[in-house]
């Protein structure tokens, strides 16, 4: 991470024209702090009469010191997958609903970022997962995920049947509606709804979570992030794999999905005083009295 931050990218929620006002306000504020501001090309479509350089996400990954993402958790997921392999740290400004990944608000973003520009921030590195689909002897697809990879049915016409191996060792054959492989970040997303435990984001682990398994003894399993997971499809009619709900690929019989932790971590910056447990209390309403 390059600090102090000299070039900052501003990235807004896709297809959200209402982001223009707050984003331009933040751009003007950063410019007054002697920071060079660039804007994502898709975000720039909703901005008018601005003076900021427009770059693609790929270009942003090569030239900026920090990216500020304005939107919800979905926007952060998408941008993190693109920019984290480039080593770009990210800050989130919440304009969504839940906001597990976006600490700042539209009301306090200038105040918080002003402090962060002077080094008053907490660095948090989070795990990404990498997956490849092997068909025969050929790799036919690959993708990254920040939350989770999900194998699921596209039609309600029967259970998935698949085999799971870990580091080459046979684990089980399973029949279920699907399988989630989640990072600790994703443990508060789909995996939580499927009954899996919440994992602290600093843990170097992945969790395998069956979705509505036919056998009740098939329970969530937590493994080290260096483990190599293999998922072999034994029944693959209308089966698809999703990555953070942004990328998908249709599977065929005997396709093998190989999953492991990605060597490059996502780097999130939080304002001083940030607490993951406070986030859990606030977002999951644990602070409400019965």
What pLDDT was estimated at residue 69?
A: 97
In this structure, are 122 and 17 located in the same domain?
Answer: yes
Does residue 172 belong to any structural domain of this protein? yes
Say whether both 139 and 122 belong to one domain: no
- Whether 290 shows a pLDDT value over 70: the answer reads no
Q: Which domain holds residue 222?
A: 129-261
- pLDDT tens digits, one per residue of 4-35: 999 999 999 988 899 999 999 999 999 999 99
Q: Calculate what percentage of the chain has a pLDDT beyond 70.
A: 99
| Residue 147: per-residue pLDDT | 97
In three-state secondary structure terms, 201 is coil
Q: What is the pTM of this model?
A: 0.93
43 and 167 share a domain? no
73 an active-site residue? yes
200 and 134 belong to one structural domain: yes
pLDDT score, position 153: 87
Could you tell me if residue 206 is inside a domain? yes
Q: Same domain for 137 and 253?
A: yes
Report CA-CA distances (Å) from 179 to 50, 171, 202, 253.
46, 14, 23, 16
Please tell me whether residues 279 and 225 are part of one structural domain: no
* pLDDT tens column, 230-262: 999 997 678 999 999 889 999 999 999 999 999
Tell me what the pLDDT averaged over the chain comes to: 94
Annotate 82-114 with DSSP letters as a single string. Answer: HHGGGT--EEEEE-SSS-SS--EETTTHHHHHH
256 in the same domain as 145: yes
Considering the domain architecture, whether residues 178 and 56 belong to the same structural domain is answered as no
| In-domain check, residue 185 | yes
Q: Does residue 288 lie within any of the structural domains?
A: no
Q: Before 280, cis peptide (omega within 30)?
A: no
Residue 1 covered by a domain: no
138-184 pLDDT per residue, tens: 999 999 999 999 999 887 777 899 999 999 999 999 999 999 999 99
Question: Given this model, what pLDDT does residue 236 score?
Answer: 64
Residue 288 CB neighbours (<10 A): 7
**Domains in the chain, number:** 2
Other CB atoms within a 10 A radius of the CB of residue 191 amount to 26
Q: Determine which one of 40, 65, 73, 177 is catalytic.
A: 73
């Amino acid at each position: 991470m390059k600090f102090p931050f000299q070039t900052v990218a501003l990235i807004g929620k896709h297809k959200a024209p209402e982001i223009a006002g707050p984003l331009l306000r933040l751009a003007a504020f950063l410019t007054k702090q002697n920071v060079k501001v660039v804007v994502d090309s898709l975000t720039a479509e909703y901005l008018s009469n601005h003076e900021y350089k427009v770059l693609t996400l790929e270009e942003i990954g090569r030239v900026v010191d920090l990216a500020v993402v304005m939107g919800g958790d979905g926007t952060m997921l998408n941008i993190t997958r693109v920019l984290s392999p480039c080593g770009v740290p990210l800050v989130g400004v919440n304009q969504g609903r839940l906001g597990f990944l976006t600490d700042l608000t539209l009301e306090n973003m200038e105040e918080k970022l002003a402090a962060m520009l002077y080094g008053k921030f907490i660095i948090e590195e989070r795990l990404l997962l990498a997956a490849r689909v092997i068909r025969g002897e050929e790799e036919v697809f690959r993708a990254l995920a920040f939350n989770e990879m999900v194998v699921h049915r596209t039609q309600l016409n029967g259970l998935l049947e698949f085999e799971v191996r870990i580091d080459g060792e046979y684990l089980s054959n399973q029949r279920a509606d699907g399988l989630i492989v989640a990072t600790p970040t994703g443990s508060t997303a789909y995996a939580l709804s499927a009954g899996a435990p919440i994992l602290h984001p600093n843990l170097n682990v992945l969790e395998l979570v069956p979705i509505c398994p036919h056998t009740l003894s098939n329970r969530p399993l937590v493994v080290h992030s260096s483990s190599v997971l293999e998922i072999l499809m034994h029944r693959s009619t209308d089966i698809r794999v999703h990555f953070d709900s942004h990328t998908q690929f249709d599977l065929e019989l005997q396709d093998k999905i190989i999953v492991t932790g990605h060597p490059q971590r996502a780097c999130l910056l939080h304002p001083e005083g940030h607490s993951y447990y406070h986030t859990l209390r606030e977002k999951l309403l644990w602070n409400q009295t019965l």
